[in-house]
Amino acid sequence: MILLEDVVKSYNGRPALRGITTSVEAGEFVFLTGASGAGKSTLLRLLYRAELPDQGRVRVAGSDLVGMSRHQVALFRRRLGVVFQDFKLLRRRTVGENISFVLSLLNVSEREQQRLVYLTLKQMGLQHRLGAYPDELSGGEQQRVAVARALVCQPELILADEPTGNLDPERSHELMELLKQINYQGTTVLVATHDRSLIASHPARTLTLERGRLVRDGWGVAP
């Protein structure tokens, strides 16, 4: 599902990722961890093609991300569900519209959009906030809307950047359980987090980054 070969990325000459080589099989659940500035978000941005590597090869869901046309990039992103660290909700749209927008890109009928939006929001405990605007929601609620938007189109791959960053422990646990459940149904999930306790409570394959290098590929938290 994901293949990285000797990936290098730097910003203004400052290296953010140095020679990352790894792969994630379809159906895996993987944590990506490391301290702040270790390169987690940069790696995720490369995976949803918001950035291009300076060097190396990135393949996601069978697509080589270098050399894609704009149209191909749009089609590729529709196959992913991305939970952004800063939520990236559309401020001028309601919660329902934020989620249905993704479905409208996939040409899902209006009726089906309404059904899926309601079911997904119910799953996230937000069905009563359907008509609210993002600015009217708490940080935790916005994060759950962002998760709902990533899940609604049942993507092949979910990339989540600190998805529990603004949630209380109970909601964090619920979200992780939800992601696990989706993973059991065959979706590949990659969660970037610096929260070691989250990994400890939901042990899975964990990739650890340190100053842009992949220093560990193992199960659960490093001893």
Partner 1 sequence: MNRHFARELRRQLRESGAVGGVAILLMAVATSWGGALLAARQWLQGQLLAQGREASIVAVLASPAESEPLRQALLAAFPQAAATALPPAAVRKQIASWFPEVATMLAGLPETSFPALLQVVVRTDDEPRLSAWLVARPEVTVAQSSRIWQRQLGEFASRLGWVGSAAAAVLLGGCLVVVLLVIRLLVLSHADEIAIMRLIGAHEAAIRGPYLGCGVTFGLAGGALGAVVLAALVLLVQSLVPTFALDPRLLLSLPPIGAAVGLAGALLGLVSLPREP
Q: Where does this chain bind partner 1 (CB under 8 A)?
A: 48-52, 70-71, 73-78, 80, 82, 84, 88-92, 97, 101-102, 104-105, 107, 110, 149
Residue 50 beta carbon to partner 1: minimum distance, rounded to whole angstroms: 6
Which of 51, 162 has the CB closer to partner 1?
51
| End-to-end Cα separation, the chain, in angstroms | 28
* Helix ranges, 82-155 (H): 95-105, 110-123, 139-151
Of 29 and 48, which has the nearer Cβ to partner 1? Answer: 48
Q: Which residue's CB is nearer to partner 1, number 98 or number 206?
A: 98
Q: Which residue, 14 or 70, is less far from partner 1 as judged by CB? A: 70
Question: Residue 64: which residues within 8 A CB-CB, separation 6 or more?
Answer: 57, 58
Show the tokens assigned to 100.
């249905």
Residue 52 CB, nearest approach to partner 1 (Å): 5
Min dist. Cβ of residue 218 to partner 1 (A)? 31
* Residues 151, 185: Cα–Cα separation, whole Å: 12
As given in the structure block, the two tokens for residue 176 are: 């992780």
Residues 145, 86: Cα–Cα separation, whole Å: 12
| Min dist. Cβ of residue 81 to partner 1 (A) | 9
Residue type, 192: A
Written as six digits, the tokens of 132 are 């609210």
Residues 138 and 149: their CA atoms lie apart, in Å, by: 16
Minimum distance from CB of 82 to partner 1 (Å)?
7
Nearer Cβ to partner 1 (77/171): 77
The pairing of beta strand 14-24 with beta strand 29-33: unpaired
